[in-house]
Amino acid sequence: MTKICALSDLHGHLPKIEPCELVLIAGDIVPLHIQFSNSEATIWFLNTFAKWIDSLPCDTVIMIAGNHDKLIERASFIAHAVENMTNFKLIYLSGTTYEYVAENLKHYKIYGSPFCHKFGNWSFMQSEEWLKGYYDNIPEDTDIILTHDTPMLGDLDLLPPSQWNPKAIHAGGKSLADAICRVKPRYVFCGHLHTCKDKYLKLDSTEIYNVSILDNEYKEIYKPLYLNI
Question: Pairing state of beta strands 116-117 and 125-126?
Answer: parallel
Identify whether the C-beta of residue 191 lies closer than 8 Å to the C-beta of residue 135.
Answer: no
Whether 91 and 63 have beta carbons less than 8 Å apart is answered as yes
Residue 82 maps to which CATH number? 3.60.21.10
Does the pLDDT at position 171 exceed 80?
no
pLDDT digits (tens, 9 = 90+) for 27-86: 999 999 999 999 999 999 999 999 999 999 999 999 999 989 999 999 999 999 999 999
Instruction: Give the structural domain span for 48.
Output: 3-228
Question: What is the pLDDT confidence band of residue 164, given thresholds at 50, 70 and 90?
Answer: low
Number of compact structural domains in the chain: 1
For the segment 13-28, what is each residue's pLDDT rounded down to a tens digit?
999 999 999 999 999 9
Residue 91: how many other CB atoms lie within 10 Å: 18
pTM of the model: 0.94
Answer for the pair 111, 96: CB distance below 8 angstroms, yes or no: yes
